[in-house]
A and B are shown apart, each in its own frame.
Chain A
Amino acid sequence: MQFNLLNYGNSRSFPEPHPLLDSATPFDASQRDIAVLVGENAGSQLDQVVGERRAILVELYTECLGVWTGESRAEEGSNVLGFARFRVGDDDPSDLVELVRQPGTSPEAIAAATQLFESAGFTVAVCMDQAGRIIDRLMRPYFNEVLTRLDQGLATASDMDLTLKLGLGYPEGPIGLLERSGLHHHYDVTQALFEVYGTPAFAPARRAAVAKQRKDFEDN
């Protein structure tokens, strides 16, 4: 599938070269192909590519797409979609692309974006433009509970991880996963979610707050 690629800084979704990005055609402002904006500054550069394209895809971090497109009356939506490859902390990005739409996003743009990512071997999950999208919104409160109950002595870390692996078929227990991939990242993600939703379930667990403070201490 033809698409234009625009790089705007380090990308969390594509930290390494990827066949999908390598297959991009050079940017041409007059083209109507899909445009993909990647990098930490992708959203702020959105006005560089507005136009009659099949779809314009903006890499997102923890922010909503609405920050870059504007929102009004829950009628926002166009040919612009957000996307992020899901990854936990320092782990490699997964093969999941969360594709972010708004209430008025055109079905043709969603279909074109889905086709582009699927043709590169990704699984696409479409979701509304809300903080945490699908996975972080569902998994972070659960991770918080695990960390809190660990503090409260519900069971040992090994037994908690073993229980969730055997009982639910998880490839790795949540404590092992969070500590291996960087517990301080869990703090950053939950803090961002807590600012939006304000419910206790998203408030960073004590162990994550400690990991974050310790990371800051080590880095300075």
Chain B
Amino acid sequence: MTEIKTVAVAGAGTMGAGIAIVAARAGFDTIVFDVSDDNLEQSRVQTEKFFARSVERGKLDPQDVDQILARFTRTSDLKDLASADIVIEAVFEELSVKQDLFGRLNDICSASTIFASNTSTISITEIAAGSGRDPQVVGMHFCLPAQLMKLVEMSPGMNTDPAMFTKAWEFCEALGQIPVKTQDSPGFILNYFLVPYNNDVIRLIEAGVAAPADIDAAIKTGMGYKMGPCELLDLIGLDTQVLLCDAFYRVTHDPRATVPPLLRRMVAAGRLGRKSGRGFFEYEGGAMFGA
């Protein structure tokens, strides 16, 4: 059970739009905030397309979708978040940006409002430090795409009130998601293991030990994983992998987290993965080609 009724999602990018879909689908009044009206409009279109597909696939009735869509409000005025019981931020992955947002919301929202951060690499404790209400700040890291992935990594900051963490946990369950508890440490669980592992894969290719297709075939058949690491890197985006490495190395100084030279060259050459049509593999119209 959760006392939370109104959810605000700050940041209408891919992640924020996905989290808002999860909230509205679970029955919460959902306020989507972004400084850019274009982003808000784009997220509205994406959201409607997503639910239209849900109807096509028979997962939802058209009436349900009308009800869900009616739960959304969109705004570029931060003051409209005053009524939120919880704010989940999915803004740019930069400490000062997140601190500034929560600092301003601290004056706008009610004293009981919980602030949750969807950060993947920044410390929850550091984000909370700038908020003026660090006992009420928790980490809630959704996976991409949030509207399809059930997992949420939840972490308390150093000063988070355990009762607040419990409230956020119950809210997460009420969203229909599956929370796991992790320490407030870089990359939490998923990215902590994935970012250096993906770099090892790139270094293996760079060293000429095996080709991407052979690596993917080995991992999929040998380990039974659904996706090979090269396929996954192409999906994540090689430019995103660079950003993750940089964010990671800054805090961990783990040599495995440094950007492999091949990765930098591929990004410079415009081979960003699926989104640019070519990464470790080639893509055309969503289909994958070649070795």
Contact = CB atoms under 8 A, between A and B. Distances in A.
A154 B192 contact: yes
A67 interface: no
Interface string B208-229: 1111001101111111111101
Interface stretch (A20-28, A42-50, A91-99): A91-99
B197 A159 contact: no
A132 to B, nearest CB: 9
Interface string B177-201: 0101111010001101110110011
A96 B218 contact: yes
Interface string A148-180: 010001111001101110111111100000000
B262 interface: no
Contact of A123 (B180, B200, B217): B217
A166 B178 CA distance: 9
Interface stretch (A11-19, A51-59, A139-147, A182-190): A139-147
A198 to B, nearest CB: 13
Contacts of B227: 168-169
Interface residues of A, number: 39
Q: Which of A86, A153, A154, A169 has the largest count of B CB atoms less than 10 A from its CB?
A: A154
Contact of A138 (B151, B153, B181, B201): B201
A142 B226 contact: no
A168 B218 contact: no
A145 B153 contact: no
B143 A127 contact: no
B278 interface: no
Nearest to B194: A168
A163 B189 contact: yes
B225 A137 contact: no
A168 B180 contact: no
Contacts of B220: 123
Contacts of A112: none
Contact of B180 (A130, A137, A142, A162): A162
B192 A163 contact: no
A135 B214 CA distance: 11
Contact of B182 (A126, A134, A135, A159): A159
A159 B189 contact: yes
A94 B224 CA distance: 9
Interface of A: 86, 94-96, 98, 123-128, 130, 134-135, 137-139, 141-142, 145-146, 149, 153-156, 159-160, 162-164, 166-172, 201
Given A126-B210, A149-B193, A168-B225, 13 more contacts: A96-B222, A125-B210, A127-B210, A128-B208, A138-B197, A142-B196, A154-B183, A155-B182, A163-B180, A163-B190, A164-B193, A168-B194, A171-B224
